Structure 1
């Protein structure tokens, strides 16, 4: 036998003068095969360096014990924590994880969706691309009863599992914290308005201003496409160049909030005395920047664990059971030096 040729159950069967079905069952420790034969088959398999062909098996069974994870960008701390949570549960259950990135592109998301479907994944966990409005490309999973979990960036109308936070409440708490610290003219850097999580955070911010009778001005709200540092810089420079600039900013992620701190400092503003900043996510950078960035906790790791558990639980269900569960996780205000100017 060629050294480059993979050993198959046919080779083991020939070597032991057994049928392939007997070898196959013995390798699975099937009760119908005697312990003596099972031991003999497994010893031969080890000696011949046999490894099972998982791909071939999955093609036969139309099942791969693999969870597909489709996210915007893997280099975002929130996404890496989310993936860690997904993997720890999936691997413990004997499942592998395939990760695909959309780079916040609708077209890439559609293509990656098809690639995961073609790979016969057992389930899919997805955080939508920033550009995505139409979710028809996910219908193929639902039509085949392949469990689908949307996490964080979720569609409004697609009926399936969803794992999310109360973004409205989180936005309200962020703005309220700034108000309680004595800031009176609070701006907001938001994501694209059709993406529900950013729309809900913005609404929470607006309602907090209304509650405390503070100005709610559209020119103090800037929507950005990808929530990048560069977009944050541009937005903050625009806000601070207004004739009546803000004295604080609530930003919908930590990356643009860090940009706000650095732009404000470059303009000679003292943080938090002259200008307050609060972000969102509690990324590692929020603890490194000087002063430390106040932020909203975003339990990505726990969201990942719950998402995996929903996939695994669904795979044990009957085909006709509902898949409309929504899981809400709590958030907290984490107060650091960028916004704390009043003593407790």
Structure 2
């Protein structure tokens, strides 16, 4: 049996009107009598007709959709930010198509190509790229699609975005730890080719220097922003060094969780033997035992502004936006001592 194609012509045949009449009725056009519009819309609903947005977008030159490319979604920071972006986009009359790169450069590039093929009006990117190859973003520019960075971007890229005050917050975290008596610190960093890796490390080193404390090269280890990478990095450190640092500062909470796991295997007590601090204050920070100290980011307001800025660029072809940096706060929990010199 031949499969029926449920389209406007099919509905027109059922109702006994022209396809043009169906098109106008589905758009609630006043050219069509109200009774006829209701009858056509009723039949369309009964047969399960879903209007295609592609044809309409070709006429209006807009799909009213924006694409989001995030490095992961099974993560409270990204999942909560995604929900906020969905809500903000919906308020402004746009839909969202979410793509996940899984922290992989090639997947990110394919996700962007897919969004372009779906004719999205604009794209938000939290990049997984950790080298200086910008070809993936050149593809968007060649297709003249507005895009905006969120949270992460490659160092040296001039395209605007919404970011966090990573340097200032990392500096604050470091100096507050020093105030608690911590001076012997290990830093697990991210790639220096992306802004969060570079700025958070710079904040740490400048915080140490501001108190005349040395920063040794062997006390800075680059990770890949994942729990597994944090685990392997700290395990590697333990194999090479007999003495523990007083505290480990981690570029994000995921890396800190890896340190927790390595400590558990090595029977290292937190915070009695070693302090651990993350960055991002994800939901898991409050669920670990001991609870993880971290840096909370004003992510919800940043997510709203990202969507609003992108839609501004969509509606204003010659519009320009500037980088914006959102604040945060240092939150100390059970993973560090209040005073290093008091047991």
TM-score (norm 2): 0.88
5 Å-filtered alignment, 1:1-344, equals: 4-58=3-57, 61-224=60-223, 226-240=224-238, 241-242=240-241, 245-264=244-263, 266-317=265-316, 319-322=317-320, 324-342=321-339
Deviation string 1:50-97 (CA, Å, 9 cap, x unpaired) is: 331234434555533222111222223322222222212223444332
Contact 1:70 1:100 in 2 (8 A): yes
Deviation at 1:32, TM superposition (A): 3.6
Aligned length: 339
Deviation at 1:117, TM superposition (A): 1.0
Structure 2 CA distance for partners of 1:54 and 1:4, relative to 1, 3 Å: farther
Unaligned runs of 5+ in 1: none
Structure 2 CA distance for partners of 1:172 and 1:23, relative to 1, 3 Å: same
Return the alpha-carbon distance in structure 2 between the equivalents of residues 62 and 134 of structure 1.
Answer: 31
Unaligned runs of 5+ in 2: none
Contact 2:187 2:221 in 1 (8 A): yes
Return the alpha-carbon distance in structure 1 between the equivalents of residues 264 and 179 of structure 2.
Answer: 22
Q: With CA pairs under 8 Å and 6+ residues apart, which has the higher RCO, 1 or 2?
A: 1
Return the alpha-carbon distance in structure 2 between the equivalents of residues 231 and 14 of structure 1.
Answer: 61
Q: What root-mean-square deviation, in Å, do the aligned CA atoms of Structure 1 and Structure 2 show?
A: 2.6
Return the alpha-carbon distance in structure 2 between the equivalents of residues 90 and 321 of structure 1.
Answer: 19
Contact 2:132 2:155 in 1 (8 A): no
Return the alpha-carbon distance in structure 1 between the equivalents of residues 135 and 79 of structure 2.
Answer: 27
Return the alpha-carbon distance in structure 2 between the equivalents of residues 259 and 141 of structure 1.
Answer: 35
Q: Which moved more, 1:262-271 or 1:199-208?
A: 262-271
